[in-house]
Amino acid sequence: MQFCQFPFRYIEKRLNHAPVAVISPSDQEIHLPTTSAVLDASLSTDDDKIISYKWELQKGPIEYAFNPTKALNSTTLQVESLTPGNYTFKLTVEDSEHIKNSTTANITVIKETDYPPTANAGKDIVIYLPQTELTLNGNASTDDKKIVEWEWKATGDLNKAVDMQDTHTPYLLLSHLQVGLYQFELKVTDEAGQSTTSTVHVIVKPPTGNPPKANAGIEQTISIPQNWAILDASGSSSDSSKIVKYTWTQTKGPSNTSIVPLADITKANVSGLTKGDYEFQVEVEDDAKLTNKSSVKITVMQRNNEPPKANAGGDVVITLPFSVVKLNGSGSTDDVKITEWQWEREEDSLAAGIMLAPSDTSPVLQLTDLVAGKYVFKLIVKDEQGLSDEDTVTLTVKEDVRKKDLIEIILDVHLYTLSTSDRDKIIQQITLLLHNVKITLSHMRSQLHTENAVLILYGQNEKGDTLNGPQLAAQLRQKIHRDDGLLQFPIVSVDTVLCLDNCSGHGVCQDLPSGRMCLCNAFWMENFLKRRYGNGERNCDWSKIYVGVVTCLLIMMVIALFWSLLFMFQRNFRTLKENINGKMGSPGRESNGKRHAHKKQYTLLDDDEEIELELKDDDDGESDDSDSDILFETKRPNKTKNGFKKISGNGAGPHRNGILKNPRRIKT
């Protein structure tokens, strides 16, 4: 006997060892302001494979919130927003046979050292009367973090009068100081609430000498056309000190003068003088802060009056759109002063546009609501003596190069309620609707009768080229028609600024008082179904000839249908009427007139007439049929009613209409 031998190999079962959890670093120390740390478990090992890492916070400050989901099954744990204190994190690793091992790591967060601030109220100050004001500067105070609070207060003789301002700023303003000693304390506080103080002394002494003597010079008289003069205070002097400052101001006379100090501080140049009397005052100050003032008069005379010279600014050329256009006539001059300005429109100028009041009586004329064309304006100027001059300016307004590509969007909201943010948001939403198209606002206006806001826009592609207006309007209408809730405000209409509809090639687009519409050619008309229920586009799609033919056919079909219904109704009504008459009429009465031979007349059987059904069981001499062929036969028996035989109306015995009806037989 032979045995089959099978080769086999003995596989020894692997002995699984527990994984080893390792956190690196196991201990670390961080100092604020650093508030984050990283723990790494990638050095953990296993004889097969680690399948999970679980991080836990075992110990830490109460206010710290640990979120383990951020390190779910990750070899790295990043902790943030750490506060001062000790933290212990536990790592648990699990291998492929679900054996676990754990270890911990410590993090110590050390609070940053915060030093108290250093207050510095500045050096002691000595001043002399008549100086009674002073500013103390405490901005030399320092802190390693930040000073958050400043506080000044007087700590010396509280009986001394003094006014203190800005006491919670680095700069303390003192006024109304008197002779004596003052002491002020500055307290500064940092973010941690730590504070320090510093004091400063202010010594106010009486004046050491006499104030300086101011001298504004001698009175002056000048004649136009000279409109300037030199102010000279070089005659001012001081006995005990040096004059260090000269300040000139105008106290009387016409305004619009200009005072400019010269290199010599004792002198200044005043310009812009016109006819009249002026007074100028100089204030001098010495190094002891003592001051004095003096005044001088200047008389400006006009011996010969020259007429003014008008200058309207020269011709101007602009291109729409412009909301406001300015014509500048301020270049007009006079030897004394121009007292009157007047802008007028010339007769050969366009009448469009509005001159904004009161700019028509000022040097600069402001115009609005202009249309393309040529405007001519005249500027008239007059001086005090009534002499005048005039100049004309031509304003040429060119048509907007983008006018054919402008589209207007009428919003269902009043213009006076539309804010700038709403406007910008609408433009942004329109830009998002039209991909790769940049929408730019040209200008805005209100609709005439409704006062709704009208946005005038144009579009550009990525290259900066202006897009075709009708195509852009059609594209935007299509986008809004799909979903009318895409924009912030409801849209009343989207159209081009100009009437550019091609009217299906069979008409002309025109703006009429009743609205924009297509004036179709002689043999064409609008497809009102497309206009009302379609995309709303103005058109001249329908030919009047075809419409007429189709209309006639429809009318004929309606008439034919009506006639057929009427004929059927009359026929059924006649039949019904004859049946009713036949039922209600007497059996013996003769019918009126001849009946048509092809019409069959039917009447209901009388109650006293019976139909006799006889089964045929013998041969019949009058029939050729065999007995087996006849199932049953109907006969009318001659019966009497009330003892008399029933006679039909035509005298033909018991048979109606004088016709003898044969019995009915049913054969197999």
Helix (H, G, I), strand (E, B) or coil at 477: helix
What average pLDDT does range 458-482 have in this prediction? 88
Query: Which residue would you say has higher pLDDT here, 661 or 581?
Result: 581
Closest CA to 409 of 431, 389, 393, 386: 431
635 pLDDT band, cuts 50/70/90, is low
Does domain 27-110 correspond to CATH entry 2.60.40.10?
A: yes
Q: What is the pLDDT, as a whole number, of residue 174?
A: 93
Contact residues for 326 (Cβ-Cβ < 8 A; gap 6+): 364, 365, 366, 367
DSSP letters of 508-539?
EEEEETTEEEEEE-TTEE--HHHHHHSS----
Q: What pairs with residue 391 in β-bridges? A: 379
Q: How far, in Å, are 5, 516, 517, 658, 663 from residue 512 at the CA level?
A: 110, 6, 7, 86, 89
For strands 407-414 and 452-460, give the pairing: antiparallel
Closest CA to 457 of 466, 449, 448, 465: 466
Q: How far, in Å, are 125, 161, 407 from residue 167 at the CA level?
A: 18, 16, 61
Closest CA to 136 of 187, 204, 200: 200
Lowest mean pLDDT among 219-233, 375-389, 393-407, 519-533: 519-533
Cis peptide before 254 (omega within 30 of 0): no
* pLDDT per residue as tens digits for the range 338-396: 999 999 999 999 999 999 989 999 999 999 989 999 999 999 999 988 899 999 999 99
Helix (H, G, I), strand (E, B) or coil at 72: coil
Element (H, E) at 427: helix 420-433
* Residue 75 region by backbone torsions, left for phi larger than 0, else alpha for psi between -120 and 50, else beta: alpha
Longest dimension (CA), the chain: 184
Lowest mean pLDDT among 9-13, 94-98, 352-356, 398-402: 9-13
Matching CATH topology for 220-302 and 316-398?
Answer: yes
Cis peptide before 84 (omega within 30 of 0): no
Residue 618 has pLDDT above 50, yes or no: no
Does domain 316-398 correspond to CATH entry 2.60.40.10?
A: yes
Cis peptide before 358 (omega within 30 of 0): yes
Residue 155 has pLDDT above 70, yes or no: yes
Structure tokens at 21: 């959890």
CA 528 to chain centre: 35
Query: Which residue would you say has higher pLDDT here, 67 or 659?
Result: 67
CA gap 175, 178 in Å, rounded: 9
CA gap 147, 196 in Å, rounded: 11
Contact residues for 126 (Cβ-Cβ < 8 A; gap 6+): 202, 203, 205
Closest CA to 279 of 219, 191, 239: 219
* pLDDT per residue as tens digits for the range 74-124: 888 989 889 999 999 999 999 988 999 999 999 999 988 888 999 999 999
Q: What pairs with residue 52 in β-bridges? A: 94
CA atoms within 13 A on the CB side of 397: 22
Domain range annotation of the chain? 27-110, 125-205, 220-302, 316-398, 407-544
Structure tokens at 484: 């009318």
Q: What pairs with residue 507 in β-bridges? A: 520
The CATH code belonging to domain 220-302 is 2.60.40.10
Q: What is the pLDDT, as a whole number, of residue 16?
A: 84
Computed on alpha carbons and rounded to an integer, the radius of gyration of the chain in Å comes to 58
- Residue linked to tokens 């031979």: 597
- 314 neighbors 377 (Cβ within 8 angstroms): no
- 297 neighbors 219 (Cβ within 8 angstroms): yes
- 39 neighbors 77 (Cβ within 8 angstroms): yes
Tell me what the pLDDT averaged over the chain comes to: 84
Residue 646 has pLDDT above 50, yes or no: no
For residue 518, the one-letter residue type is: C
Q: What pairs with residue 180 in β-bridges? A: 204
Residue 559 phi/psi, 5° resolution?
A: -65, -45
- 489 neighbors 426 (Cβ within 8 angstroms): yes
* pLDDT per residue as tens digits for the range 41-83: 989 999 889 999 999 999 999 888 887 766 678 888 989 889 9
- 52 neighbors 95 (Cβ within 8 angstroms): no
DSSP structure class, residue 596: P
* pLDDT per residue as tens digits for the range 442-468: 888 898 888 999 999 999 998 889 999
Structure tokens at 182: 């003052």
CA 276 to chain centre: 57
Lowest mean pLDDT among 253-267, 365-379, 486-500: 486-500
Closest CA to 521 of 531, 509, 534, 508: 508
Q: What is the pLDDT, as a whole number, of residue 648?
A: 44
| Domain 125-205 class, CATH top level | mainly beta
* pLDDT per residue as tens digits for the range 265-317: 999 999 999 889 999 999 999 887 788 999 999 999 988 888 999 999 999 99
DSSP structure class, residue 213: B
CA gap 176, 423 in Å, rounded: 55
Burial category of 496 from C-beta neighbours within 10 Å (exposed 0-12, middle 13-18, buried 19 and up): buried
Closest CA to 207 of 148, 128, 282: 128
Query: Which residue would you say has higher pLDDT here, 625 or 166?
Result: 166
